[in-house]
Structures are given as C-alpha cells and as structure tokens.
Amino acid sequence: MTPSVTSLREEMDLDDQDRTKGKGGKGKWQEERSGEQGMVSILCQAADKWRSLKEAMGWLDNEGNWRVLKWNAVQQHLEVDATVK
C-alpha cells in the first residue's frame, strides 16, 4: 500500500521535530519505505509510467519536445495546434 502525501508530510514533520529535539536518525517513513518499495523507487516507477504514457499518447514530437494540443470540439479529440511553434 502506497502512503498518501498527507501521511508522508506528517511523518516528515515528526522527523523534523525529533531532529530539533536532538533525537536525530531516520523518520518512520524512511525506515518503512526503504529498498525495493522505497520512495525513490516508487517515484522512479511513476516517472517511467508517465514517460511511456506521454509518448504513447502522442504528446511529444519526434525530437522529444512537447506538442501544443488543442481540443477539436467537432471531432471530439485533441489535435496538434499548428499555430504554435
């Protein structure tokens, strides 16, 4: 189960409070989310999925630059806006 952003922020706040009180060390979220299921691993997986999605959806041109898309209300789909270079 992936933690929510709110729960991670709460854990980070608690960790910061512990450091200011001199306790130091890793926060609970760091201990529980290390290794294969660590936050860096989860963020890398999300980035890979996003990269694949934007390529599959045709949001990038052949050079890897973002295309400017506009909604065609008549045909009900996105199309490249040729007026923007």
For the chain, the structural domain boundaries read 40-80
Residue 2 has pLDDT above 70, yes or no: no
Task: Kindly report the backbone phi and psi dihedral angles of residue 3, in degrees, each rounded to the nearest multiple of 5, phi listed first.
Answer: -70, 155
Is 24 a residue whose pLDDT tops 70?
A: no
What are φ and ψ of residue 29, in 5° steps?
-65, -30
Position 17 scores a pLDDT of: 59
Maximum Cα–Cα distance across the chain: 63
pLDDT at 65: 87
